[in-house]
Chain A
Amino acid sequence: MSTLKDYGSFETAWCPGCGNFSILKAVKQALVQCNLAPHDVLFVSGIGQAAKAPHYLHANVFNGLHGRSLPVATGAKLANPHLTVIAESGDGCNYGEGGNHFLAAIRRNIDITLLVHDNRVYGLTKGQASPTSPEGFVSKAQPDGNPSLPFNPVAVATVMQAGFVARGFAGEMAHLTDLICQAIAHKGFSLVDILQPCVSFNRLNTFSWYQEHCRKLENSYDPTNQRGALDVAMMDENRLPIGVIYRNKRPSFKEKAEGSSSERAFGLQPFNQALFEEVLAHYY
């Protein structure tokens, strides 16, 4: 049995009151709840305030480049299918710089969990509009207001039939913990878009704003109906549903690629000279 203590506690570089603290706590609790040992888990992150999160717990970590957590996570999972691979980064990292990887990871349906700290703003670079910032969002980089419409990650993921699509809120710890746990357990690609305030740069979507606007999905809600899920994913700002929005049982990448992507595909396998001779025989 793993415990919270196994995942340690560290000094962070975040602003006091940041939503990242409760997300970090929920992640640790979810790992304990899933009974995972730190050495069986690999966190892959990009760059941004959220991407620092894996530095603040005990696990294997690859803190890569901005936008690239998903490709690194994909390569890692292919190399070692036994690892629980979690990609964790912010909205700018995943939906902006890494947008193409986000779409490809959904299509590929490889067994990775993606946790997106979504504070609707670039925090590390001090307050520019992010892909999820609302239209009209004013910043030093968008002095006339953000001209672009916000990206809706849960709606896009639902349209693309991602295996597991959830939205959580940093202010609902127990609920978020459960969502992360379900996402890890899902065999295939899973997304948890986590709404969080940015106390330094987002004056609009504050903690109390989210508290007023987030609504937990009811127990009677059926997340397996894609059309219904899309309606829920596209609900406007006045009622932001949180919970498992959509899920299906689409076969994962590994199931589809069985044979070429089997357990033997490890760096640990010894080189087989006889098989290599078989390969060379094609060229006589």
Chain B
Amino acid sequence: MVKRNSSKTICIGGEAGQGLVTIGQLLCKALVRSGYHIVITQSYQSRIRGGHNDFFIRTSVDPVAAPSKTTDLLIALDQASISEHGHLMNRDGLVVLDAILDPETHHALKVPFKDLAGDGFLNIAALTIAGALLGLNESLIQKLISDTFHKKDKAILEENLLVFEKALKWVREAAPAFEGLPPASPKGPRRLMLNGNEAIALGAIAAGVRSGFFYPMTPATSIMLTFIKHARTMGIVFEQAEDEIAAVNMAIGASFCGAPSLVATSGGGFALMAEGISLAAMTETPLVIAVAQRPGPATGLPTRTEQGDLLFVLHSGHGEFPRAIFAPGDVEECFSLTQKAFEISEKSQGPAFVLTDQFLADSYRAVLPFDRIDTKPLQSVAHAPDTKTPYQRYALTPDGLSPRLYPGMSHHLVIADSDEHTEDGHITEDLSIRKKMVEKRLKKTALLLSERIPPSFTGDSHPHVLFICWGSAKGAVEEAAERLRTPSLRTATLHFSQVWPLAPDDFLPVIQSAGVVVSVEGNATGQFAGILQRETGLRLEKQITRYDGLPLTPSYILSAFEKIDEGH
């Protein structure tokens, strides 16, 4: 866990369309290849050009899992970056800006970008200067530029390298006072640089997904764009549907025919999918939906973050049926829990959800390759030589799970119905069958519970202060607990990466062993605390919430905790 001051935060600010994300991504890659840990927070407006966007990189030699509020190195591509972020600069911080901008009162390095980079290569000059200031290896940056542009025109690559050399020479001569990063070892295992959405797409592919359907919606779109980027290689079918209703129904059609399917959306699109979730449950068709939350209601803040749709996802779809909801706490969990969601969805023949949010969606991290993870791709159940004729898609069994076949793969006929149905899949109004079928579907809860992921506990046993959180809040809460700890104050965190179904025995003893229990959530009403109360009778009165569209940070949590503590 990172110590309070051992990390550095770099902020790249500018207008949309200025290339700040390119600079940010390249700098991240340089840091990851150099052996540093990173946490990225991207904040952008719902526009393609103009406005003000920023890309925060918190980096450290030690593992780091949460964003920081303050900045050490500000790369300002416009004047607004200085007015927006200047007041959050640390005392030894440095502002790097174009010679024509005004650094106000800040310690600054004015760069003649026009001379160094002409019109089209500002991002390479900025990357080079930032890399040099942070003390990154020069040849590593050079190689990164080569790797990035080698597929393009040779002349373009050469121009990029020329800008790199000019910028490097210039920054060496300028030699501004700035303390770089402590050296890291690039010798460790090679790591991947991934954000949460990329990890969800890769987790789905690793699970053996064969199809994907979506309608574009921020901040979920990049899940499907990553998925489609690799679809050809992996032999996966996909389609951009006419609307979210079509997307979820296409996924159900594909899954019914044996192609496990991924759907990704955000709150508003998910609202349109609700009938499909109910359909998947009734027809007992596996379905995995990744929901990347953004602040609502309605269109809300399209490009910001919130953990506001937990209760919505839990209760989506009419009728009563079991479901599993996973809420990854970091990029690794985006991968592993998406895989898990597919596994459980196939096993239980019903819906499973991966609940993420804009912060985690866009947050790049350095992660160990997944090759050590045992990828158990989904097993085909198309051929069952011992199946009796007529095949009964909804045969009643002790555990509620009926043997599944795919249509067209054998001489057996597969009949599925959204109406209440008989064991052979035909519409019925026989109310005694209705009762049996309700019980059959609900029996699958036992399977979901037996495969649940219990919450993870980190910190001191019998803590004086216990924080409870779920999903993407993990890193910020764990760091806050760490920073709060003193020799006389034991602190701990209980993080839920699966928020449904819950088994109170997993966590009640831990909660009861704690002194002060505080729930921390990125929403206004403490939705998870409400679920815990409903399921356990435990009332969590102390709540830290955030609903201004920005991610939880350790400092935010600690200052909110101070107020709770004073009131106590």
Contact = CB atoms under 8 A, between A and B. Distances in A.
A72 B408 contact: no
Given A78-B259, A279-B234, A61 B415 contact: yes
For the complex, would chain B's binding face be called helix, strand, loop or mixed by DSSP majority?
Answer: mixed
Interface in B411-433: 411-419, 425-427
A243 B210 CA distance: 39
B243 interface: yes
A273 B241 CA distance: 29
B237 A260 contact: yes
A265 B253 contact: no
Nearest to B147: A284
A62 B193 CA distance: 42
Contacts of B414: 60-61
Contacts of A247: none
B259 A271 contact: no
Interface stretch (B133-141, B200-208, B354-362): B200-208
B377 A271 contact: yes
Interface in B193-239: 193-194, 198, 202, 205-206, 208, 210-211, 213, 229-239
Contact of A271 (B198, B208, B232, B411): B208
A50 interface: no
Contact of B213 (A52, A75, A82, A266): A75
A265 B246 contact: no
B250 A74 contact: yes
Nearest to B427: A55
Contact of A64 (B192, B283, B370): B283
Contacts of B104: none
Interface string B233-276: 11111110111011101111111111111000000000000011
B406 interface: yes
Contacts, number: 204
Given A75-B253, A78-B239, A268-B380, A39 B411 contact: yes
A38 B370 CA distance: 44
A269 B378 CA distance: 10
Given A267-B210, A273-B375, A104 B246 contact: yes
A72 B239 CA distance: 12
Interface string B327-371: 000000000000000000000000000000000000000000111
A72 B419 CA distance: 16
Given A63-B418, A83-B408, A283 B198 contact: yes
A200 interface: no
Contact of B408 (A80, A261, A270, A280): A80
A284 B29 CA distance: 8
A173 interface: no
Interface stretch (A40-48, A135-143, A149-157, A160-168): A40-48
Name which of B210, B375, B378, B427 has the most chain A CB atoms within 10 A of its CB.
B210
Interface of B: 33, 190-194, 198, 202, 205-206, 208, 210-211, 213, 229-239, 241-243, 245-247, 249-261, 275-276, 279, 283, 369-371, 375, 377-378, 380, 382, 406-419, 425-427
